[in-house]
Amino acid sequence: MSRGADVTPTHWAHFNPVRIAAGVGALEHLPQWVQPQVKVLLVTTAGFSRRGVTDRLLRLLGEQRVVVHDRVTPNAQLDEVEHAAVSLRDQNIGAIVALGGGSVLDTAKALSLGLCSTDAHPFGNVFRAGRPQTWTEAVPLYAIPTTAGTGSEVTPFATMWDRTTHKKHSLSGERLYPAVALLDPDLTLSLPLEETLYSALDAISHALESLWNKNRAPVSSALAFRALAIAERALPRVLATPDRVEARANMQHASLLAGLAISQTRTAMAHSVSYPLTSRCGVPHGLACSFTLPYILRANLDRVAEHAEERTVLAAVLELLERLDLGTRMRQYVSGREILGLQDEMHAQGRIENFAGELPGGLPRLLEESVR
């Protein structure tokens, strides 16, 4: 039985111009990609500097031309990013190399716009004062992910959090596509187990959210189903043997494919639900956007899967998600009652409308069943 007519829209588009280069040791090829001569801003975290990765990049790129910004902290904060953008403007930066997880890539993407702006409050004026986004230029970005989850290395989106208003803001637009995504699975080996899990759940969430999405299309479906098939096998292996680079590489591929899928569809229900849980209760993003997946998937599996082999993949993903017992993990951060109390903030514009599935019992039942 084909349900193709139900889930594939009659009109669709696709465009993703990111150059992808992947493989063990791919980091060594970075100098081939970054424009020669220009001044480079390296965006990363103190942890990577401590572990010697920053020094390695300085050697690779040529120390004299690199400005290091290694103070990125989890969940890119509007004020911090804005401050960094303004204070780095006089440095004549011609390229940004971002090495890190989602927050590093988000920060770097925001900087790629903020460095080209002359506004003293490029992000505050847009997200707090409500002025229109007028960024027309961006510094070319070379994205090197060290987690396998966000897919940010191939999306035209960046997330920014506002600590003062507890809001999550989205930067988006074609100029946010990185010029190059460089995937070296060696860089993901140092990721702690819990972050590995939550990153992977973010990737699985991206793939599923691109399937029950009103923007779903043939290309995004191809990428999403493959992301799920790879992730479903790779994640248990990564968790069992986190120092095996092959499983890490597979998880990195799954994350990339899921990123390519949401680069076209954006996310939907599960992400919409997650934002207040992260901004108000500090739930890690990958957990917050995945704890509702089992319920949504169970209710929509036949709608999302057009064919038998797709049902096979989705059923395996559902089984994996159920085994991970995400409800119990959620309750380490927040009670069921607190979650229910945040319902009104779970309607992220441009996310929840993307959801093309069914939600029997609505949001309350989704939340109740998901933290049981």
Tokens of 21: 């280069």
* 106 close to 158: Cβ distance less than 8 angstroms: yes
Residue 322: what residue type?
E
d(CA 303, CA 299): 9
The number of beta carbons lying within 10 Å of the beta carbon of residue 194 is: 13
Q: Which is nearer to a copy of itself, 9 or 361 (CB)?
A: 9
Q: Which helix (H) or strand (E) holds 170?
A: strand 167-172
Applying CB under 8 A, which of residues 31, 218, 360, 361 lies at the interface with a copy of itself? Answer: 218
Running DSSP on this structure, what letter comes out for residue 132? P
Q: Which is nearer to a copy of itself, 17 or 360 (CB)?
A: 17
Question: What is the total residue count of the chain?
Answer: 372
* Structure-token match 């493989």, residue found: 23
Applying CB under 8 A, which of residues 72, 143, 257, 346 lies at the interface with a copy of itself? Answer: 257
Is 229 one of the binding residues for a copy of itself (CB under 8 A)? yes
Q: How far is the CB of 198 from a copy of itself (least distance, A)?
A: 22
Q: Which is nearer to a copy of itself, 147 or 220 (CB)?
A: 220
Is 11 one of the binding residues for a copy of itself (CB under 8 A)? yes
**Cβ partners under 8 Å of residue 179, min gap 6:** 18, 19, 33, 140, 141, 142
Is 217 one of the binding residues for a copy of itself (CB under 8 A)? yes
Number of residues this chain uses to bind a copy of itself (CB under 8 A): 45
Running DSSP on this structure, what letter comes out for residue 172? E
Q: Which is nearer to a copy of itself, 86 or 301 (CB)?
A: 301
Applying CB under 8 A, which of residues 59, 166, 307, 365 lies at the interface with a copy of itself? Answer: 307
**Residues at the contact surface with a copy of itself, assessed by CB under 8 A:** 2, 4-5, 9-24, 26, 217-219, 221-223, 225-227, 229-230, 233, 246, 249-250, 253, 256-257, 260, 307-310, 312-313
